[in-house]
Amino acid sequence: MEIVWQTPASPPDAKDYIFRNGRRYVRPYYFEFISHVKNRWAGKTIVDVFADEFKGRPREYFVGAVKCGRIQVDEQIVPVTYVVRSSQKVSHFLHRHEPPVLAFDIPVLYEGSDILTVCKPSSVPVHPCGQYRKNTVIGILVAENGINPLFPVHRLDRLVSGLLIFARTANKADQLRQQIQAGLLHKEYVARVDGVFPDGELVIDANVYYNAREGVSTIESKGKTAITKFTRISTNGLHSIVLCKPISGRTHQIRVHLQYTGHPIANDMLYLSSCPINRSTQGMGADRAATSALSQSNMSSQITGRDSTSTEDFLIDPKCTHCPNLGPTGYDVLEEGLWLHCLRYSGPDWSYEAPYPDWATLN
Active site residue 48: no
Exposed / middle / buried, residue 239 (Cβ in 10 Å: 0-12, 13-18, 19+) = buried
Marked catalytic residue, from 16, 114, 157, 317: 157
Residues noted as catalytic: 157
